[in-house]
Structure 1
Amino acid sequence: MANDRGRRRSAPDAPARPWEQLTRGGWVAIGTTALVIASSLTAYGAYYDIYGNINAESVDTDAFGDRPTKVEGAVNILLIGSDVRTGENADYGAAEGERPDTLIIAHVSPDHDGATLVNIPRDSYLDLPACAATDDKPGYDPHLGMIGEAMSLGGVGCLWTTVEQLTGIHIDHFVSVDFTGFKGMVDAIGGVEMCVPAAVQDEKAKLDIEAGEQTLDGETALAYVRSRYAQGDGTDISRIDRQQEFMGAMLRKVMSSDVLASPGNLYAFLGSVTDSITTDDEFTVDAMADVAIAMREVDMASVRFVTVPNGQHPLDTNRIAWREPDASQLFEAIATDVELSEPEDSGSEPDSGDAPQEDAEAEVTPADPSAVAVEVLNATDVDGLGADTGAELTAAGFQVAGTGNPSGETPSATTVYYAPGQESHAAAVAEHVDGARIEEDATLGETVLLVLAGDAGGSGAAELPGAESARTAEETENACG
């Protein structure tokens, strides 16, 4: 019986967690903050002067063909943190072309008095639709590639239509900000207060900083949000955590300080970065003011940060695959302007008995891990996931009886099978494996069986709109002690 089932990965070392964390938050802070304060500038007429310094690029959206339906009132803006290394940005190394170091869909919903910022990880490895060549870009045929190729090989118009086709979300405008713009905005607000948990020296990111609570100026903040290998576990997901905290700190300072107190402060604030911002030429002053009016009443508790649900790509462990159906459910919620605080139907039919099983899980008190023997079987395409999960469970105190791969029929979802009377043991394992369900199997003995199924290898359980793991700006508080 032990070789008839499948498998799922436990949460501790998952590549990314669903519906949470905003990557490269500094650039997004620029875009979001600019939208928040633009209407105040417009009221004084000053913004019309500043607007002239913004670079405008013509994008022929009519050439996109069939596009996702636009929801009246809601606005979706593609925020791009550009890694262009020309001009003043040449100080940050050489890089061919221009790529989106950060890619965010900012969804502004006046009906729900809030905003949701959806991060598309730059390591996303996807089936890219074709993009035509332009005067300065070669374009490409449909292929499996990194999301950033759309911009580097096809331009911002290619990136725009690619995001629309992959997500089903109608994008209204784009805003791109480079390294210099990021520094300028941080300096314009007098720096951002952050708690640095440990001293960091990262030569690649040009970062040398002591531990403790301190105010980061523009140059140091840029190094902090770009640093990867010298902090945490060296992964991009670890960097995402720090960047989300930075963005929350930056937004809180802008909204609570004297930045918004006078036309002069506002003028200096945007004036410091406008020459580092590029938008589509349809994102006019009036269009920006409309967005800003919608954002003006939004408090930090209504600005949500989420990431496309994802996991390790089966063809390349260094790349990310979007986990389905979770990713599609998130995109559908954004595309149709569903309030994320309202749980939605997952769209999939539950297996018979699922609801009673969930009730049973809620009533069972999990056993102590040291008393639980578990065998782990990997029914996914991710090599080594069974061994990794076994190691994680061992570290958590479980007795791992063995790991391997199943033969024969496997479940569609990660499942912990248990013998009669062993339900508390199964519940203990399920508690350590996000999204795992439990099911009784009278053929088993005292060892429970964890089968990691096709939903494994990602970032935990499928989270629907309103998932508790999503963070708001208020929940990114970063303070020592």
Structure 2
Amino acid sequence: MSEPEAPRPRHARAGLARRIGWYALLAASALLGYVLVYGGTVVDQLDSTLAANAEDVDTLVGDRPERPTDQEAGEALNILVMGSDTREGDNQAVGGGAVSGMRNDTTMIVHVAADRSRVEAVSIPRDLQVEIPECTYKDGSTIAATSGDFNIAFSNGGLRGDAAEAAACTIRTVEQLTGIYIDHYAVVDFDGFISMVDALGGVPMCIAEPIVSEKAHLELEAGPQVFDGETALAYARLRTAEEGDVSGSDLQRITRQQQLLEQIAATVFSKNLLTQTDEVTQFLRAVAESLTMDEQMASTTYLVGLLYSLRGLGLDDIVFHTPPWQYTADSLNVELLPEAEEMWDDIRNDRPISVTAEGDASSAWDDGKKDDEESTSEPSSSAKSSGSPSASTTADLLDECR
């Protein structure tokens, strides 16, 4: 039977933090070298931990787009990475109290090229207006199709607090929107993000100007600094600020997110697996404990094979994008421009993404519009694309920032 249509999820202050989940895949690049060098007991423990949260969702997703290639080694892969703001367990304290259900303000399509020459990550704005298909739960019941903000899909699927059901509804929505076959998925939560950043020993960031946000519990001085897990989470959830250039735009938060992801990836790639084994072990365990994913991804054997195929990848080969968009007529949400189809077609056919940026996709949108306060906005028609930084060390980045 069908259940009543779920309410639209409120715009949680914890928005951007849930976006950080996808970097766990990049971060797991450490897994290859570690397994080759140390192997054994740690790998067995990681397999057990990953398997505990692994679940395939093909039967819940239902009809799928045509898969363009065989899924043998070396073929292109599309991985959907989602962030969850579930308030179960330790996440309640981090997220700010008990809230039922699950929400996500973060979804990224991570495309791994067949020749392993590049990884391209496309952020889907949470306020993007889309058609959301009927979603199915594990007991066979369904929730009606609807339309509205993209992140309703995860909320609909997550009404019962099950990350796999939430992922299935989001996958179905993404595949319907883009025609891109999703090979794998991963979901990460608040507490897991903090643990992963702390396990890395922090993430270096260059802050252009002071930022003070009471809502995000964040107070940053301008200049070089290293974020611990809680500070990185606060920066990631940042939506409004009493001081600093923070517009409230979800697109601006995507821009900040991508900058943070670049530095997380750079930090991971800078690790020396032969001399920092305790730190790497701690990080890999944090990754394993924090992710819900499909069963194939939740295998060190599979991950080692995938990551070995990416051994020649550099940070400059990891690129972030936002699909071409514009504001809706009421300036409250966003919609895709026709050029977005070019991006989806590039991914479907494993071509480098051809849509280029024409400025900062964050624009001048002001959160006050949702509170009926006067503000201005200008449409943005371009994708946000930022090349990853070179593989500099933490000290290099902080020196450059001074």
TM bucket (normalised to shorter chain) is 0.7 to 0.9
CA distance in 2, matches of 1:62, 1:290: 27
Aligned-partner residue type, residue 459 of structure 1: S
Which residue in the other structure is 2:320 paired with?
A: 305
CA distance in 1, matches of 2:341, 2:125: 15
CA distance in 1, matches of 2:207, 2:324: 28
Secondary structure of the residue aligned to 1:111 is coil
Which residue in the other structure is 1:334 paired with?
A: 347
Can you list the C-alpha shifts for 1:193-251, whole angstroms capped at 9, x where unaligned?
Answer: 11222333322222233332111111111101111111422322222222222111111
Check 1:336–1:133 CA distance in 2 against 1; reply closer, same or farther (3 A cut): same
**TM-score relative to the length of structure 2:** 0.76
Which residue in the other structure is 1:460 paired with?
A: 381
Work out which of the residue numbers 24, 28, 32 in structure 1 matches 2:22.
28
Aligned-partner residue type, residue 304 of structure 1: V
CA distance in 2, matches of 1:205, 1:68: 42
Which residue in the other structure is 1:243 paired with?
A: 257
The alignment of Structure 1 onto Structure 2 pairs a total of residues equal to 339
**8 Å Cα contact 1:24-1:243 kept in structure 2:** no
Matches within 5 A, 1:146-157: 146-154=149-157, 155-157=166-168
Aligned-partner residue type, residue 185 of structure 1: M
RMSD (Å) for aligned C-alpha atoms: 2.8
**TM-score relative to the length of structure 1:** 0.65
Which residue in the other structure is 2:135 paired with?
A: 131
Q: Which moved more, 1:230-239 or 1:153-162?
A: 230-239
Which residue in the other structure is 2:85 paired with?
A: 83
Give 1:274 deviation, angstroms.
1.9
CA distance in 2, matches of 1:234, 1:293: 40
Check 1:473–1:48 CA distance in 2 against 1; reply closer, same or farther (3 A cut): farther
Secondary structure of the residue aligned to 2:225 is strand
CA distance in 2, matches of 1:248, 1:223: 17
CA distance in 1, matches of 2:212, 2:147: 36
Is the aligned partner of 1:49 residue 2:34?
no
CA distance in 2, matches of 1:24, 1:471: 20
Which residue in the other structure is 2:336 paired with?
A: 322
Is the aligned partner of 1:473 residue 2:388?
yes
Tell me the percent identity: 33
Give 1:475 deviation, angstroms.
7.3
**8 Å Cα contact 2:123-2:323 kept in structure 1:** yes
**8 Å Cα contact 2:327-2:379 kept in structure 1:** yes
Matches within 5 A, 1:365-404: none
**8 Å Cα contact 2:61-2:172 kept in structure 1:** no
Is the aligned partner of 1:296 residue 2:294?
no
Task: Say which structure, 1 or 2, has more relative contact order (CA 8 Å, 6+ apart).
Answer: 1
**8 Å Cα contact 1:114-1:303 kept in structure 2:** yes
Can you list the C-alpha shifts for 1:140-178, whole angstroms capped at 9, x where unaligned?
Answer: 22x222222222212221211221121111111111111
Secondary structure of the residue aligned to 2:115 is helix
Matches within 5 A, 1:63-212: 64-72=62-70, 73-91=75-93, 92-93=95-96, 94-135=98-139, 139-141=143-145, 143-154=146-157, 155-212=166-223
Check 1:161–1:121 CA distance in 2 against 1; reply closer, same or farther (3 A cut): same
Give 1:131 deviation, angstroms.
1.9
Q: Which moved more, 1:88-97 or 1:114-123?
A: 88-97
**8 Å Cα contact 1:82-1:177 kept in structure 2:** yes
> Which entry has the higher C-alpha Rg, 1 or 2?
1
Secondary structure of the residue aligned to 1:273 is helix
Secondary structure of the residue aligned to 2:302 is helix
Check 1:217–1:259 CA distance in 2 against 1; reply closer, same or farther (3 A cut): farther
Is the aligned partner of 1:274 residue 2:288?
yes
**8 Å Cα contact 1:75-1:291 kept in structure 2:** no
Check 1:309–1:267 CA distance in 2 against 1; reply closer, same or farther (3 A cut): same
Check 1:194–1:458 CA distance in 2 against 1; reply closer, same or farther (3 A cut): same
Can you list the C-alpha shifts for 1:444-466, whole angstroms capped at 9, x where unaligned?
Answer: xxxxxxxxxxxxx74235x7xxx
Q: Which moved more, 1:101-110 or 1:265-274?
A: 265-274
Give 1:470 deviation, angstroms.
2.2
Aligned-partner residue type, residue 223 of structure 1: A
**8 Å Cα contact 2:319-2:385 kept in structure 1:** yes
Secondary structure of the residue aligned to 1:308 is coil
CA distance in 2, matches of 1:136, 1:176: 22
Which residue in the other structure is 2:160 paired with?
A: none
Can you list the C-alpha shifts for 1:124-149, whole angstroms capped at 9, x where unaligned?
Answer: 111222223444975222x2222222
Secondary structure of the residue aligned to 1:181 is helix
Can you list the C-alpha shifts for 1:58-82, whole angstroms capped at 9, x where unaligned?
Answer: 3134862242323340111111111
CA distance in 2, matches of 1:320, 1:261: 47
Can you list the C-alpha shifts for 1:95-149, whole angstroms capped at 9, x where unaligned?
Answer: 33112221001111141511000111111111222223444975222x2222222
**8 Å Cα contact 1:79-1:104 kept in structure 2:** yes
**8 Å Cα contact 1:104-1:118 kept in structure 2:** yes
